[in-house]
Chain A
C-alpha cells in the first residue's frame, strides 16, 4: 500500500488537455477558481496562458491537495528554431527571461526523450534567436511548485508546436492542438511512468505520524520530532511491526512520557 499522493498536471488550455486526455473520464472539480478535473490520483488544472496564471494554478492546487504529497507536471507547447514539430521534450532547466532566474526540475521518464533548456517569455516568441525552447508558463509553474518539493516532485514536458519554418504567429489553435494530439500516446505513457515513480518516492518521503494514543499529548516540537525518530527506529529494527501500545499516565509531564517511550521501546528490543 503506497502513501497517498496527487499528481497535479498544469496545462494552459483546455484544448491542449483534451488533445492528451479523455476529459470525459475525469470528474470536473466544481466551484473552483480554475477549470479543473480529477481522476484517481491525477488532477488536471487548466491555468490559462502566461506564467502568472500558471503560478495561480499551482497555488490553487496546493490548497486543493492540502496534507498530501504533490507531484507536479507541466505539459504544454514550446517553440524552437529547428526542432521538428511534434518532438516531445522534457525540461532539465527552466530560465525566466524577465526574472533572470533558473530552476532545475527532475527528468523522471524512462522513455528516452531529449532533456532541454526551456526559456519562459512574457509574450509569444516571434523568432527563435537562441538554441533554447521558448514557452510562456514553465517558470511561473516551477517557481511556486518547487516550494516544499524536492526536484524529483517536479517535471515539465513540452511538445514542439512551432519553429522557424512554422512560427507561432502563422498557426491556428487547431493546428497547435493537432500537433499535441499526435503525441498523445507518448505523453500518456510519460504520465503513467511518472505515476509509478511518484508512488515509490512518496513512500520514501512520507511523514511519520504519531499513534492515536500519543496524539493528544502536548509535546514540544523538539519532543514530537524525537518521538517520530523513535517510531522510525522501532519500525526499522522490528521490520515494520506494529508499535506496542504504552499505558501513558494521565497528566504526566511530557518529559516523563518521552523517557517512558524510550525505555519501553528499547526494552522491546532486548
Chain B
C-alpha cells in the first residue's frame, strides 16, 4: 500500500523534515496546514489504521511539556512527546483509546521543547523529572527522530532536571554513540517472554532487551527497570520472580537507578474505546478486571500478588528505589 507523508507547511523545509524523508523514503508527500486536520478527525478506527500506516511531520505549538497529575506518581515531573504513536502494537497500549488515529506523528521542533523544559527548570531549585515515551516508545524510532541524539546532551546542561527515556526497544546503535550523562535514565519495560509473545506484538524479545540493558550499563548509562504492566492473569508470580532475578542480575546493582512495577490499568474511557475499536482483544475482556473509580483495574486478588512481588523486589535490591503504582 502506498505510504503517504503529510507535512505541515511550516516545517516543510525544516532540516529534520528532510532527514526524516531521507530515511522513510516515502514518495507520496501531501502538504497540510495542521496535523490535527488528519490526526484528530472524529470517525477513525485505530485498529484498521494500524495496518495501513501513514506519517505526519509537524511542529507542536501548545502543551509542549505537561505536568504529571500528582495522583499518578510521587515525583514532581512533566512529560513531553516528540512523537505520537508507536511502531509496536501492544494489546494493552492505551494509545489505542487515547488517539483517534494510529498514524505516526513526528514533532520536530525540538528547540521549542527545549525552551519549555528550560523554563520549567528555572522555576524551581528542586529536582524535576521529565518523562518521554508517554505517547510513543522513546527509542524505537530513534533512527528516524534523532530524539536521544538531541535531548541527552541537552539534559546534561540542566542541573536540576532528570530525563527518563522509556522504551521496549533493544536498539542501542544510536545511544552508544552518545555520551551518557547522569541526568538521563534509560528505562526498559520488561515482561516474561510468554507475555511478550501474547501481548506485545512487534517488540524485541526479552533476551535482546536484557542484552541491551547490559550493554548500555557497561557503557555508563543509568538503567531503570520497569515491570510494567504486570499481567498476572496470563503469567504467574513465579514467572515474574524469575524475570526479576534475570533482569537484576544482568547488571551491577549500582547501575540500577530505579525499579518500578505497574498494574495493568486503563481509564474507563480509554478501555471502552479500545474494546469498541478492537472487539477481538481478549486481554481487555478479562473478568478479573472491572471498572472502579473510573479505572479499569484488577481485582484485589491480583493486587495482592502485585504487592507481594513488590516486597520481593525490595529484598532483592534493597538499596534501589522501588515504586508500585497505586
Contacts and interface: CB of A to CB of B under 8 A. Distances in A.
Interface of A: 90, 92-93, 102, 104, 106-110, 112-117, 146, 148-152, 201, 204-205, 229, 232-233, 236-237, 266, 269
A112 B31 CA distance: 20
Contact of B43 (A102, A107, A149, A204): A149
A221 B280 CA distance: 23
**Which A-B residue pairs are the 7 nearest by beta carbons?**
A115-B28, A92-B30, A115-B4, A93-B30, A233-B285, A92-B4, A232-B279
A150 B44 contact: yes
B38 A104 contact: yes
B1 A109 contact: yes
B28 A114 contact: yes
A113 B2 contact: yes
B31 A117 contact: yes
Contacts of A150: 43-45, 48
Contacts of B2: 90, 107, 109, 112-115
A92 B287 contact: no
Interface of B: 1-2, 4, 6, 27-28, 30-32, 37-38, 41, 43-45, 47-49, 52, 54, 275, 279-282, 285, 287
A146 B1 contact: no
A42 to B, nearest CB: 21
A115 to B, nearest CB: 4
Given A107-B2, A107-B4, A236-B282, A114 B27 contact: yes
A110 B30 CA distance: 19
A201 B48 contact: yes
A236 B43 contact: no
B35 to A, nearest CB: 11
Given A92-B4, A109-B2, A204-B47, A117 B282 contact: no
Contacts of A204: 45, 47-48, 279
A92 B31 CA distance: 10
Nearest to A147: B43
22 contacts: A92-B4, A92-B6, A92-B28, A92-B30, A93-B30, A93-B31, A102-B32, A104-B41, A106-B52, A107-B2, A107-B54, A112-B2, A113-B2, A114-B27, A115-B30, A204-B45, A204-B279, A205-B48, A233-B285, A236-B282, A236-B285, A237-B282
Nearest to A153: B43
A107 B28 contact: yes
A237 B285 contact: yes
A108 B31 contact: no
B27 A205 contact: no
A110 B1 contact: yes
B41 to A, nearest CB: 7
A130 to B, nearest CB: 11
A198 B222 CA distance: 49
Nearest to A201: B48
Residue among B2, B27, B281, B282 facing the most chain A CB atoms (10 A cut-off)? B2
A113 B1 CA distance: 9
B279 A107 contact: no
Given A108-B52, A150-B43, A150-B44, 7 more contacts: A107-B1, A113-B2, A115-B4, A115-B30, A148-B43, A204-B48, A204-B279
